[in-house]
Chains A and B, each alone.
Chain A
Amino acid sequence: MSSSTTPRRRAAATLTIAAATALILASCSGGVGGDGGGSDEGPIKLGMLAPFSGSEAAFGDYMKNGAQLAIDEINDDGGVDGRDLELVVEDDACDATASVAAAQKLVTAGVLASVGGYCSGATLPTIPVFSDADIPMVIPAANSNAIVGQGAFMINGTGAQQAEAGIKFATKLGVTKVAAVNDQTDYSKDLADTFIADAEEAGGFEVVLDGAVNPDDKDFSANVKAIIDAEPEFVYWTGYYQAGGLLVRQLREAGYEGTVLVGDGTVDAQFAEIAGDGFTDDVFGTFTKTPDMLEGADDWIAAYKDVSGGEAPGPYSIQSYDAVRVVAEGMKDAGSTDGKAVNEAIAAIDGLELSSGPLKFTEDRTLSGGGFVIVEVGPEGDFVLHDDLQD
């Protein structure tokens, strides 16, 4: 019985292998021709990696809605060369491993540009994934100095520009002793290091403490004690808001009375909630402008609310909106969606009006003007403009 089925099995196996080979070959040719072939029709897919889960999940929706608004506007105007844009979002959870997997998923999905990137630590490892596939990246939020010079465009100010704003503010207040505290993430450490290095050159004040916390801790008594012992008049916290809220509260409870400046990762309404009532006096933040700080932004905010279902635009929504517009402009200028051509076209953009001002990229593809301002905690607990540092 077995001898009679064997040839049939063998025939079936051969057929299967042949079919599989054919499939593989077919998908290969599809993949090779993918850049020019299959994706020349239908919508132009733009990929966005952002955190939709994890501690930074709130920012994912801000970014997605901002990008979607730009896409809707561009599509209403006839799209790019007659083709509609389409946003494909993936969750990177602000985690380096998850982000690489998500980036590969976007590449497989056939995106022609990337307009995402919030956490620097999660964005950094995705750069080679996109660049290997010749996919241009315009990063709306992540701004670690480690990203600079890797070929991605950054339309948020860099860590160096943010540190510069911090130094400018401290100098303006005339403080002499400053402490910098980071939470050991890429973004935070980089910002603190740049701040300290540049402060030494600026010379206006002395950095008396370079500290770090474990971001998952709740008890920062060790850091608080170190800060109080160093007697600074000014503390620059460069980490995210979760730990930031607790740290500021514990600092105040332990009797620290000086100014606290926080980096843009802590500039979030949740910060004041975590710190609690009365613990956010004399707390400022370095931040890129949000829509509500811009002049004549009411129309934009109204349009955003249509997309978001009534939610107010949060941090990085307008940068994400800008990122999509930059990519669309690049594709129009290049007259194609070919990655290399679009990259060159984006680098050559001159004078496109963004929220941070007219766009002109520097050699290393960062903004020529950072646009950082100083914000403070307003009566509602969200951050409002305090000083635009324009002198």
Chain B
Amino acid sequence: MSQLIWNGLFVGSFYALIALGYSMVYGIIKLLNFAHGDIYMLGAFFSFVVLGGMSGLLGIGSIPVLLLVMLIAMLFTGFMGVFIERVAYRPLRGSPRLSVLITAVGVSFTLEYAVRQIFGPNPEVFPIRLSGTPITILGARITLPQVVLMIVAALLMFGLQRYIMHTREGRAMRAIALDQTASLLMGVNVNKVISRTFFIGSALAGAAGVMAAAYYGSIDFLMGFVIGLKAFTAAVIGGIGNIYGAMLGGLVLGLLESFGTHLFGGEWRDVFAFGFLILFLTFRPTGILGERVTERV
């Protein structure tokens, strides 16, 4: 039982990190950014390249090196997010939402198959592998890397929450989420704020990509596809557009999957997760936390 909860929370914290980007972008410009999962994949591949370049440093100890590489990868994926928004989404901002949605799908495929062209179709083995001797707490086997990764995820989410709720830039983001035109009239630089949102969301996805790569040890060009959809599911469960909802939705989805697969078997995991997506969309489309706050960042 406690093992199930732990497994669920661990996977859920990855979902939550990625769901944040989905949710923020949706909150601000009402775009379901289907390329978001591929940003996660880009983060993994970028850190793979960086680590290949600095393999001499690996002797120092892998967790600090990994955190450094993660920061570099976050910058990279952040700028990729800004770039994608600039070339693919901004020119379509006035267009019907469907056009932008389809463009997002196109961006997703472009990223996936560009990476496939560069790195080939086979999985690559990540140079740093986090593993540790498990300790048993309350009957659950827990490893140090799992704890570290969860703490890193929690810190990132905490930092984001402080940023959005307690800074001028965060207030601008919340203002745009409420009313883009009014914000513009009040002198908010809307383009800049949207770019910033993409930067933060993509950086978080990149961080999740690096962490997953180091934990599971194998990366491939399609690794972002299903997890992107899972993060979307998490965002919907929590209440899309709401940052607390994204975090909560990630953890809830992780737990649902963990208990669901325990009951029905591992092959039912995706059926279970997306089944819940349908249930939520049918009976509570605003998600758990989405009462009247869905328009928030």
Residue numbers of A with Cβ under 8 A of B are: 53-55, 57-58, 184, 211-214, 216-223, 225-226, 242, 245-246, 249, 253-255, 270, 273-274, 276
Contacts and interface: CB of A to CB of B under 8 A. Distances in A.
B267 to A, nearest CB: 4
Given A216-B226, A222-B262, A255-B134, A57 B121 contact: yes
B141 A254 contact: yes
Contact of B266 (A55, A213, A273): A213
Q: Which 4 A-B pairs have the closest CB atoms?
A: A222-B261, A212-B267, A223-B266, A221-B7
Contacts of B131: 249, 253, 276
Contacts of B123: 55, 242, 270, 274
B266 A211 contact: yes
A234 B120 CA distance: 34
B183 interface: no
B122 A219 contact: no
Nearest to A53: B121
Contacts of A270: 122-123, 125
Given A221-B258, A274-B125, A246 B216 contact: yes
B30 interface: no
Interface of B: 3-4, 7, 10-11, 120-123, 125, 129, 131, 134, 141, 143, 212, 216-218, 220, 222-223, 225-226, 257-258, 261-262, 265-267, 269-270
Contacts of B120: 57
A216 B129 contact: no
A242 B257 CA distance: 22
A216 B265 CA distance: 16
Given A222-B261, A270-B122, 16 more contacts: A55-B122, A184-B267, A211-B266, A211-B267, A212-B266, A213-B267, A216-B222, A216-B225, A216-B226, A217-B226, A221-B11, A222-B7, A222-B265, A245-B218, A249-B217, A254-B134
Contacts of B269: 214, 217, 222
A255 B218 CA distance: 21
B9 to A, nearest CB: 11
Nearest to A52: B121
B57 to A, nearest CB: 19
7 contacts: A58-B122, A211-B265, A214-B266, A216-B226, A242-B218, A254-B134, A254-B141
Contacts of A184: 267
Q: Which of B120, B131, B262 has the most CB of A within 10 A?
A: B131
Nearest to A215: B267
A274 B134 contact: no
Q: Which of A55, A184, A219, A249 has the most CB of B within 10 A?
A: A219
Contact of A218 (B121, B141, B223): B223
Contacts of A245: 218
Given A55-B121, A221-B7, A276-B129, A246 B266 contact: no
A212 B265 contact: yes
A218 B218 contact: yes
A243 to B, nearest CB: 9
A225 B121 CA distance: 30
A184 B262 CA distance: 18
A333 B120 CA distance: 43
Given A57-B122, A216-B222, A216-B226, A225 B217 contact: no
Contacts of A220: 266
A274 B143 contact: no
Contacts of A226: 262, 265-266
